[in-house]
Copies of this chain bind each other. A is one copy, B any other.
């Protein structure tokens, strides 16, 4: 019977899934779940949902609610954090500013996840505050960190505090898109992926125990062109078709392993993303998830879903189990809790310290790899060597960018912010980068950031 704190519980879309998963996990019944958010209206909404859904599924939990973080953390065994400080709006404005300075689609969105070097500030600061509170109030608890930037965040927490932190993402499940297009039954398939969050690569694809990369290669050679002309591809939502887009295939051919999930947009080469036309060539008619078309489609879909969900949750007469059937949602958070709390050995895809798993990555750097989760804790599965070209041109630079973001943040180094921009392939001159930096830091929501960093 665990004590679980859900920080940022007002993120309705995410919290409903967690409650669904909890209620589908009998071995956690009897646990106490403290829902915490600073937004009271949202907090009451999700609390109400939790109580009703729990009753409708005959689950047995003690739900509490609070607006005070420290109250939620007191004696917790597990802390799940989903907080995005400030929401999406500032990010959108920063992107517009960056475009005016010659940075098509903004800075940081592709190179160092979509919060970038400047935008990462609020998140990193929050991560540290949360983990430092935990050191006092629940020093042995696990911090399950699912807010971005996961890569930078989990590295920061594990280096700067004593808290055990695990990064969780669901992007790796996109390998299933490959199986669907190749008409392979997931039950006969064994897939392995490794790398960093939003930068994972398919090391193995086995069908009934046989290497199935050749089947994928054959599809690329003989069927891909037809697929790229099909309605499924041309009309599909960008996030549904990116996994087998020409850009993903080209990235595979350049680096030697297939990119999976967010990797397709985060770790494909910069020359796939210089204009909308070029993005469309590589990522289909919308230009992919990150293009002006793709991203606004995403935001619209996201808002519609959210509105629908909120309406449902607020409608006290609705059958919640109809929309949220009492089966596991696919998210990994509750399976982690269950595996640790009840010593139920489970293999999951998580972000944990490397400790020798991927050759050539320091032990303390966080990698996204398959791990065994159990009462013993979390144990990485050994991956070994990745292709040298992939290491040198993708993983090592991505790791260095993480180090740059943390160095600038921890040393309050304005020069670091500028030097990161100077490494952007779109930067033509020192003035261009300086002007952008200046304008970004002049935005009202960045006044604290402007004060934090010093020349």
Q: Judge whether A386 is part of the interface by a CB distance below 8 angstroms.
A: no
Q: Could you list 6 examples of A-B contacts with CB < 8 Å?
A: A254-B419, A271-B422, A271-B429, A392-B404, A392-B407, A396-B400
Give complex CA distance A400, B407 in Å: 19
Query: B residues within 8 A CB of A335?
Result: none
With CB as the reference atom, state the residue of chain B lying closest to A408.
Answer: B389
Q: Min CB distance, A261 to chain B, in Å?
A: 23
Which residues in window 407-427 of A have CB below 8 A to B?
A: 407, 411, 413, 415-416, 419, 422-423, 425, 427
The verdict on A269 contacting chain B, using a C-beta distance below 8 Å, is: yes
Q: Give every chain B residue within 8 A of A126 (Cβ-Cβ).
A: none
- The docked-state distance in angstroms from the alpha carbon of A271 to that of B270 is 20
Q: Which of chain B's residues have a CB closer than 8 A to the CB of A423?
A: 393
Q: Which of B270, B389, B413, B415 contacts A415 (CB 8 A)?
A: B389
Q: Which residues does chain B contribute within 8 Å of A397, judged by CB atoms? A: 400
Q: A411-B388, A425-B425, A425-B427 are in contact. Are A419 and B393 (CB under 8 A)?
A: yes
CB neighbours of A400 from chain B (8 A): 392, 396-397, 400
Answer yes or no: A430 CB below 8 A from chain B CBs: yes
- CB contact under 8 A between A422 and B388, given known A396-B400, A400-B396, A400-B397: no
Interface string of A382-395 (1 = CB under 8 A from B): 00000011001100
| A361 to B407 CA separation, bound complex (whole angstroms) | 17
Q: For residue A392, which residues in chain B have a CB less than 8 angstroms away from its CB?
A: 400, 403-404, 407, 416
Q: Name which residue of chain B comes closest to A360, CB basis.
A: B362
A47 to B33, CA, bound (A): 88
User: Known contacts A388-B411, A392-B403, A393-B423; can you find 9 more A-B pairs with CB under 8 A?
Assistant: A269-B422, A271-B429, A274-B429, A389-B407, A389-B416, A392-B404, A393-B404, A396-B400, A397-B400
Q: Please report the C-alpha to C-alpha distance between residue A415 and residue B253 in the assembled complex, in whole angstroms.
A: 10
Q: Could you say which residues of chain B place their CB within 8 Å of the CB of A430?
A: 271
Contacts of A404 in B (CB 8 A): 392-393
Measured as residues with beta carbon below 8 angstroms from the partner, the interface class of chain A is 20 to 34
Binding site for B on A (CB under 8 A): 254, 269-271, 274, 388-389, 392-393, 396-397, 400, 403-404, 407, 411, 413, 415-416, 419, 422-423, 425, 427, 429-430
A104 CB to closest chain B CB, in angstroms? 13
B-chain residues with CB within 8 Å of residue A403 when the two chains form the complex: 392
Cβ contact within 8 Å between B427 and A413: no
Say which residue of B271, B388, B419, B425 sits within 8 Å of A407 (CB atoms).
Answer: B388
**Complex: chain B residue closest to A418, CB-CB:** B254
Q: How many angstroms between the C-alpha atoms of A388 and B423 in the bound complex?
A: 17
Q: Which residues of B contact A425 (CB under 8 A)?
A: 425, 427
Interchain CA distance A389-B425 in the complex, whole Å: 20
Min CB distance, A151 to chain B, in Å? 16
Question: Which of A392, A400, A411 has the most chain B CB atoms closer than 10 A to its own CB?
Answer: A392
A429: B residues at CB distance < 8 A: 271, 274
Residues from chain B with Cβ under 8 Å of A419 in the complex? 254, 389, 393
Q: Which residue of B lies closest to A429 (CB)?
A: B271
A107 to chain B, nearest CB (A): 16
**Closest CB in chain B relative to A351 CB, distance in Å:** 22
Quote the shortest CB–CB distance from A433 to chain B (angstroms): 9
Asked whether, in the complex, the Cβ of B407 is within 8 Å of the Cβ of A254, the reply is no
- Nearest Cβ on chain B to A256's Cβ, whole angstroms: 9
Q: Top 10 nearest A-B pairs by Cβ distance?
A: A271-B430, A388-B407, A393-B419, A392-B404, A392-B403, A396-B400, A392-B407, A389-B416, A392-B400, A271-B429
